[in-house]
Structure 1
Amino acid sequence: MIGMPSYHAIAAMAVTLAMFVAFARGRMSIEIISLLTIAVIAVGLYFFPLEGNAPTDGLQLAFSGFGHYALITICALMVMGRGLVVTGALEPAARFLERVFKVNLQLGLLFSLVVCFVLSMGVNNTPVLVLLIPIFVALAERGLMPASKTLIPLNAASLLGGLATTIGTSTNILVVSIAVDLGMERMGVFHFTPIVIVACLVALPYVWLVMPRMLKSNRIEQVHALRKFETRLRITENSVLNGRELSEVASRLPDGIEFHDVPPGLLRPQHRLLMTGTHEAIEEAMSVLRGDAAPSWVIDRIRRNSHEKGVDIAVVEMTVTADSRLIGRTLPSSGIADLYGVAVIGTHRPERLMGEKDQYSEGGDMRLIEGDVLLVMGLPADIEHFERADGLLTLEGRRELPRRSKAVLAATIMGAAVALASVGLPFYGAQGFYLLKVPIAISALLGAILMFVTGCVKFDRVGRALSASVIVLVAASIALGRVILESGAADWIGLVMASGLQYLSPAAALAVIMLTMTVITNFASNATAATVGTPIAFAIATQLGLPPEPMVLAVLFGCNLCYATPIAYQTNMLIMSEGSYEFFDYVRTGVPLVIIMVVALSGALVFTYGL
């Protein structure tokens, strides 16, 4: 007969339930709930330590999450992702996916889900998702599907792909290794892939068509995004327009860009094309066409100063105030570039100022009036000097230009980190040459350090790459997982499960094992679920006279169905800040997927093994 769990086990399960309820209600922020959880664990274990432990051991357990390798890994992956964004390394991939999405949004999402699934079968799903997150954030900024509607489905696809092979996730490797120690034959890489693919074919329509509709949009409509600027794009020797007609490259231009009074025939250097577009569209058009929206000598000087001083170039929207000396002047006569070292790459005149107040010089250049908005490019210090000296007011819409000179370097660093974790490092030993796989924690940390050392990511800007809510949530979930394991709560749950399964049919027993592992993995950790569940499943199979392999696979599958909470897996937390997700977003979308996968996988196991 199974006895009552210990007081520590009851307390651990109560804290877990309270944390879940608090997250689901959403009345307090994630940071507060996470910190309260850590505080409850610390205070509780200090005054009521675990058996054989000192009070200070409880404090160490409660705060161990802040130094855990999983948190270091997540932070390092965030830094590397930031490096890809600020250097523009992902722009080619983003443009390719943008063309696919423009054909059809739903087909674009399906294509992305399939690619994510296939990649995650052979490569650890964490680096796969790290590569995709900034791409889909960039696509959202280009006006396509909001990041909040794509990241959770992509995360689900990566987890499904990782489930399909024995090397897809570290959890799979752990379960297979424990099973071998228990006397089972080692499973091959694709041993259970057909079972998973059949189940995923059932789940994919839900992930593709239903999940995005269950998620709210996190797109923020900003006034400056609708503001149209006018500029003259100068064709340079290196421009893709040199010797070509505009129509030849029109398909590569961003939405919202329009050209006016384009001269007939082939374009040549020093041609100036009148162009209108939004802040972001003008920046992208300059990059795609390799043209300048201001005199080339000014742009070259800004880039040279940026490189020498190690400061990023910014583009800012500034409005002309009533006491500005620019009123009545044209841009060529203002001397802005000579005086301040900045370039005005676009001007916008609000509709309310059109009409009688429009004034032009004899050369056809517009005279500036109060209320005009300038799109100014330069180093931050020079822009601030320009603002103070010439009576301007900075508006929303400040953006830093990507450091494209380091784009290849950032992509190489990310690629090397992914390769180390997924393929391995060539190593020579007693057995000759072989590939030594490096843990994702080490490869990610090395990659983040290289991003700092090479200047792809500025150390003083690292706060933009990291999310405080994710950091404290990871720390709290690690501490809670350790308490559940060390208090005996996980063992007690396993015993209760084993005692009840003897009365169920084989198919029902498989489903219960899988569902129980899913509950544990969504509130503790998949490693905990795998460590506790694999021996129990093997013992149950022996007691019931069933083949052990389907029971062990039920544990393996259940440990990977971690969609229902953000604390269940590190990729869930990676997407949390970028998608502006709340705890209940994971519950609402993840629970139906868990149910679909449990039913589909259980049925496939029963059919495959003839139970």
Structure 2
Amino acid sequence: METFHIIAVFIILVATFACFVKEWLPVDLAALAAFALCMLLGMLDADDVAAVFNNSAPLTIGAMFVLSAALNRTGVIDRMAILFTKAAKGSELRALVILALLVAPLSACVNNTPIVIVFLPVLISFARSANLKASRLLMPLSFIAILGGTMCIFGTSTNILVSGVSAKEGLEPFGVFEILPLGVIYALVGVIYLLTVGRKLMPSRDTVSSLFGSDDLRDFTSSAVVPEGSPLEGKKLSESDIWENPEFRIYYVVRNGQRLGMSPLDELVLHEGDTVVLKASTRGVSEIAESGSLSFYKAPPTTERKKIKLVEAMIGPHSNFIGKKITQLDLRSQYGIVVAALHRKGVNLTENVGKITLQFGDTLLIEAPESNLQRFENTRTDIIFLNDEVERPFRRKKAIFAMAAIVCVVLASSLGVPILTSAIVGAVAVMVIGCVDPREAYNSIEWPILFIIYGMLGLGAAMENTGAVRMVAENIAGGLNPFGPLVVLAVMYLLSSALTEVVTNNAVAILITPIVISIAEGMGVDARPFVVAVMFGASASFATPIGYQTNTYVFGAGGYRFSDFVKVGLPLNLLLWIIAIIFIPIFWPF
């Protein structure tokens, strides 16, 4: 049975990683499925399952999401973004330097995902005003946020997770600032690279809105009436010439003073006297008026010449748009907006956009009258607006309390209070004070990340129970033992970094940490430097847009190609690998 379990756990491991890479299942579902299979096959008993859910790391990570949301909701991060715009003064180099000074320290103390989300529209707007390509700034934003996260245990979920797993394996818990010296070196080296070599390699890509030239960005809507005898009368909109005419964008139809929105817009049958609200070019108006299909002279004056806006919006990780086609969302009928184009994985798409199934990270180019767009922005909290974002009422009077909570959590943890205790107390405090209300706090937690962690903790426990971890450790140690601990450390860092680029960093951290601890025990050396190597190798992910969530965010928003991350990020990965080999043994001797 032991041999069967070892073979089975390796099959589950390979299948899970394949699901991560090929996206056959959502990552969190794949991790939970692996956990369930391990229970089903008898590799985990009830006590093992209880031990997985007793792990403090996921709860700590959830509490840090809430603290980050408090900083965001009270306008602290937004204020920093405003200061950035004022200080950058239209210079790309100056903008990168200031970005490093703001984002890196902030990312050291709180989750870096909301920081990147807040700065995304700021940098896009800045690039537009400075006549720069946003792609020159967005990748550095993500990279700097990742580098900042390596300076403190709170900086990334990976740091918290590795610390928790290693403590469970018997190592002394990591101090809050124990990794600060190496993290500062990482940040300095990384920023210098981005300002010099990285800046030369940085691509100049067009975002999705650049697909449309100035002739296409028409700035008004018109209203047209279906006249008596019109060839459109009695026809569905989808059967009319104007539905697919590139000179028009139809937003909604008004009948007897009431906006029609109960049925899909393309299925709507036009009647005499209906008012069609649409965007039209001068040429389009002339063509349709000449055909007699619509009249542009009897429309109610209140619907004429409204300003049109183009907005780039990204599908967030919790959006209910994920898995649906644009045609299924019926955005024209519900909001009077049109999806003009879509950017995904380095490709700008304009053909058959409505038939594409949406994914997290997709960037949509949305076109609509101002009032329609405002209504859409106000009701869709699961969409990240990358430009012309609607103003939100920050709770600025509570900002001092949010900042005080973060400081207290960090100080308490550095003085010996368990990280879980200080983080949960801080999260509850910001909710009680009103920095963030409970509903916003719940929504701020990246639940898929927590489910991935629980699933992979379960798989990791199964690997330990079956002896798979010991087998891997003995084989690696046996092959590398003659070369000494430094070579083993270099290999394990490189393995952690490489795996992180194709699967989630938290999964890699959970699986590799017990292995390196076993290897160190077998070699008779301290396991701490190997654990640090896993922590930094799994956190510092730059070579692909899928290894780290902030990279996924900027991938769509910046119009990047997959190869752009390889070109800019891979040299940085290798540079930091060398830094790790040099400095980890200095700070944490074998």
The TM tier, using the shorter chain, reads: 0.5 to 0.7
Match of 1:499 in 2: 478
Alpha-carbon deviation of 1:18? Answer: 0.8
Q: Structure 1 pair 582/481, CA: closer, same or farther in 2 (3 Å)? A: farther
C-alpha separation in 1, matches of 2:22 and 2:11: 16
Q: Structure 1 pair 395/82, CA: closer, same or farther in 2 (3 Å)? A: farther
Q: Structure 1 pair 412/190, CA: closer, same or farther in 2 (3 Å)? A: closer
Match of 2:15 in 1: 15
Letter in 2 for 1:395: P
Match of 1:596 in 2: 575
Letter in 1 for 2:305: V
Q: Structure 1 pair 52/446, CA: closer, same or farther in 2 (3 Å)? A: same
Match of 1:158 in 2: 145
Contact 2:32 2:456 in 1 (8 A): no
Letter in 2 for 1:153: P
Matched, 1:116 2:48: no
C-alpha separation in 1, matches of 2:393 and 2:412: 28
Contact 2:33 2:455 in 1 (8 A): no
Contact 1:163 1:560 in 2 (8 A): yes
Match of 1:41 in 2: 34
Match of 2:293 in 1: none
Alpha-carbon deviation of 1:598? Answer: 1.3
Alpha-carbon deviation of 1:499? Answer: 2.2
Matched, 1:140 2:127: no
SS at match of 1:502: helix
Contact 1:538 1:552 in 2 (8 A): no
C-alpha separation in 1, matches of 2:534 and 2:192: 25
C-alpha separation in 1, matches of 2:159 and 2:70: 26
Letter in 1 for 2:120: F
Alpha-carbon deviation of 1:523? Answer: 4.9
Match of 1:484 in 2: 460
Taking structure 2 as the reference length, the TM-score comes to 0.54
Q: Could you tell me which runs of 5 or more consecutive residues in structure 2 were left unpaired when the two chains were aligned.
A: 228-278, 286-298, 309-332, 337-366, 379-388
Letter in 1 for 2:14: A
Contact 2:60 2:160 in 1 (8 A): no
Pick which of 166-175 and 128-137 moved more: 166-175
C-alpha separation in 2, matches of 1:167 and 1:473: 15
Letter in 2 for 1:14: V
Letter in 1 for 2:123: L
C-alpha separation in 2, matches of 1:508 and 1:475: 34
Q: Structure 1 pair 61/425, CA: closer, same or farther in 2 (3 Å)? A: closer
Letter in 1 for 2:524: T
Deviation per CA, 1:309-330: give whole Å up to 9, x if none: xxxxxxxx86444589xxxxxx
Alpha-carbon deviation of 1:511? Answer: 0.6
Contact 1:124 1:168 in 2 (8 A): yes
C-alpha separation in 2, matches of 1:532 and 1:320: 67
Contact 2:85 2:122 in 1 (8 A): no
- 369, 372, 381: which is aligned to 1:395? 369
Letter in 1 for 2:369: L
Contact 1:117 1:160 in 2 (8 A): yes
Alpha-carbon deviation of 1:14? Answer: 1.0
Contact 2:509 2:534 in 1 (8 A): no
Contact 1:423 1:435 in 2 (8 A): no
Alpha-carbon deviation of 1:105? Answer: 1.8
Q: Structure 1 pair 351/221, CA: closer, same or farther in 2 (3 Å)? A: same
Identity of aligned residues (%): 19
Alpha-carbon deviation of 1:602? Answer: 0.7
Matched, 1:542 2:524: yes
Deviation per CA, 1:273-324: give whole Å up to 9, x if none: xxxxx8xxxxxxxxxxxxxxxxxxxxxxxxxxxxxxxxxxxxxx86444589
C-alpha separation in 2, matches of 1:180 and 1:50: 23
Deviation per CA, 1:344-395: give whole Å up to 9, x if none: xxxx9977799xxxxxxxxxxxx9979942359xxxxxxx9xx9xxxxx973
Deviation per CA, 1:500-535: give whole Å up to 9, x if none: 221214542331232244457655447636852563
C-alpha separation in 2, matches of 1:580 and 1:481: 35
Alpha-carbon deviation of 1:12? Answer: 3.0
C-alpha separation in 1, matches of 2:480 and 2:546: 28
Alpha-carbon deviation of 1:536? Answer: 3.4
Alignment of 1:45-194 (within 5 A): 45=38, 47-52=40-45, 69=59, 72=62, 76=66, 83=73, 92-120=79-107, 123-126=108-111, 129-141=113-125, 143-144=127-128, 150=137, 152-164=139-151
Letter in 2 for 1:213: M
Alignment of 1:353-372 (within 5 A): 372=304
C-alpha separation in 1, matches of 2:530 and 2:52: 34
Alignment of 1:183-222 (within 5 A): 195-208=182-195, 210=198, 213=202, 218-221=207-210
Match of 1:528 in 2: 510
Alpha-carbon deviation of 1:101? Answer: 3.9
Matched, 1:561 2:545: no
Decide which structure has the larger Cα Rg and report it. Answer: 1
Alignment of 1:367-386 (within 5 A): 372-374=304-306
Q: Could you tell me which runs of 5 or more consecutive residues in structure 1 were left unpaired when the two chains were aligned.
A: 230-277, 279-316, 325-347, 355-366, 377-383, 388-392
Contact 1:513 1:554 in 2 (8 A): yes
Alignment of 1:203-242 (within 5 A): 203-208=190-195, 210=198, 213=202, 218-221=207-210
C-alpha separation in 2, matches of 1:610 and 1:73: 33
SS at match of 2:306: strand
Deviation per CA, 1:152-188: give whole Å up to 9, x if none: 5334323333434577567667878999999999998
C-alpha separation in 2, matches of 1:74 and 1:570: 16
Letter in 2 for 1:103: G
SS at match of 1:7: helix
C-alpha separation in 1, matches of 2:414 and 2:141: 31
Pick which of 135-144 and 573-582 moved more: 573-582
Alpha-carbon deviation of 1:587? Answer: 7.1
Contact 1:71 1:475 in 2 (8 A): no
C-alpha separation in 2, matches of 1:471 and 1:110: 33
Letter in 1 for 2:209: I
Alpha-carbon deviation of 1:38? Answer: 5.1
SS at match of 2:43: coil
C-alpha separation in 1, matches of 2:405 and 2:156: 16
Q: How many residue pairs are counted as aligned between the two chains? A: 445
Deviation per CA, 1:549-588: give whole Å up to 9, x if none: 6556445533543556778667667878877999998777
Q: Structure 1 pair 95/478, CA: closer, same or farther in 2 (3 Å)? A: same
Alignment of 1:439-518 (within 5 A): 439-440=422-423, 443-444=426-427, 447=430, 450=434, 453=437, 471-472=447-448, 475-476=451-452, 478-488=454-464, 489-518=468-497
Taking structure 1 as the reference length, the TM-score comes to 0.53
Alignment of 1:415-426 (within 5 A): 415-424=403-412
Alpha-carbon deviation of 1:37? Answer: 2.0
Deviation per CA, 1:19-50: give whole Å up to 9, x if none: 24304xxxx6xxx4437625753663465232
Alpha-carbon deviation of 1:112? Answer: 0.7
Match of 1:243 in 2: none
